[in-house]
Amino acid sequence: MEMLIEEISIYGGGLLLCALVMYVYVRTKSKKSKIVEKKIEKAKEEGIHEPVSLYPFIDPNICIGGAACVSACPEKDIIGIVNGKGELINASNCVGHGACFHACPVEAISLKIGTEKRGVDLPHVNQNFETNIKGIFIAGELGGMGLIKNSVEQGKQAILNINQQLDKQHKAEFDVIIVGAGPAGISASLQAKKMGLKFKTLEQDSLGGTVYNFPRAKVVMTSPMDLPGYGKVKLFETSKTELLELWQKVISENQIVIQENTKVEEIKKDGNSFKVVTNHGEEFEGNKVLLAIGRRGSPRKLNTDGEEKEKVAYRLLEPELISGKNVLVVGGGDSAIENALLLASENNVTLSYRSENFNRLKPKNLSKIKDAIEQDLVKVEFNTAVAHIEESEVVLVRDNISFRIPNDLVYIFAGGELPTQFLKKSGIEITQRFGYTIKSHAS
């Protein structure tokens, strides 16, 4: 009898302990779910819940809630776990590195671009990075891949595919003409050099493309990548300057010349070749063409009076050299906010934004601009448009009422124009994608 009572006590104690553990586990899980749910609600209020570029799509029927995707994401708070299933939180902050995609043990994550409500214009590109125009290829940001690592990988792979298709009997001036010297274009140039191809690389701005146009103080987030002609590059958090210096070093060591400040105006089919026409009136003949340009294309202009003045710019390269100026920053996206904040400590900064409040800002940027406004470091003029830019003033308009503010410099960050017309002129088909699954992704 005593042994029976003892066994009951042991089993009862064990069951009680198991029940206690389960209670604590369920309660902890519930608390964590509620925290994530609050983050999702806040993200919706701030307009950063909807993805704007490549993002993870989580299949709730497959997801087991293991949270490997959450741990793998270096951006943090992109994905959370709610009631045992993965959920998107700050989806617009996703940069499309695909770490969550690779980390998921049950393949519950796929990578998509565009949502059911918001489409994204994408050119037609097959698994070899070739467009509907045979001989013209696209790699990097223009094709939907914005992360540096992915763009580098695609640039390399595109050249490998181009080399396989080259007609060795056809003697063009160049085997391939590479348009763009951002991450994809640099990688493609290095790979072409490595393979002994005749190539020409053209860049409308300077080496680095989109990265070059970042403010000097901006930190560029990237991850380990294999750079042709150099090897493994392990960078997790590095400045724009450090990244550009690395690329400059590799390009120089490989004796590659990038023709900068050269914008491609047109690509014309010429028999078995292509003629690439630049803004300088030059024509280069290539067997193949690789477009490694960004989605931003050329900076979007306001088309307002006085915009042609020297004091108007579309990028901020050396904010530390500007002080004591009346500066107008135009725009309400992350680039506009980041640049306004860089200038705020040493200048009188006014921000002109056409909407009544900020939306789709990264949480840190939203918090920083709110603090700057409270501290009178930045003055924000919501619901305004630039009507006229004069030598020492700028005229803004709100509700058909104009007013003037003192001004020395104007920085416009109104986004960029997708080079749609340029692509269509070349015959490349463009489709608006809604929830399109990216089948080819750099690993």
What's the whole-number mean pLDDT along residues 390-413?
Answer: 95
What average pLDDT is seen over the chain? 82
DSSP character at residue 319: G
SS3 245: helix
**Residue 6 scores a pLDDT above 50:** yes
* Sequence ranges of the chain with CATH classification 3.30.70.20: 2-113
Mutual orientation of helices 183-194 and 240-253 as an angle, nearest 10°? 20
Residue 281 corresponds to which tokens in the numbers above? 């009136």
Answer CATH for 2-113 from 3.30.70.20, 3.20.20.70, 3.60.21.10, 3.40.50.2300: 3.30.70.20
**Residue 221 scores a pLDDT above 60:** no
* Sequence ranges of the chain with CATH classification 3.50.50.60: 121-297+421-433, 299-417
Dihedral, CA of residue 182, residue 188, residue 194 and residue 200, to nearest 10: -80
CATH topology of domain 299-417: FAD/NAD(P)-binding domain (3.50.50)
Answer CATH for 121-297+421-433 from 3.30.70.260, 3.50.50.60, 3.40.50.300, 3.40.1190.20: 3.50.50.60
Residue range 314-324, pLDDT digits in tens: 888 778 889 99
Residue range 377-393, pLDDT digits in tens: 999 999 999 999 999 99
Q: In angstroms, rounded to a whole number, what is the distance separating the alpha carbons of residues 351 and 405?
A: 11
**Residue 189 scores a pLDDT above 80:** yes
| Tokens 């002609």 sit on residue | 229
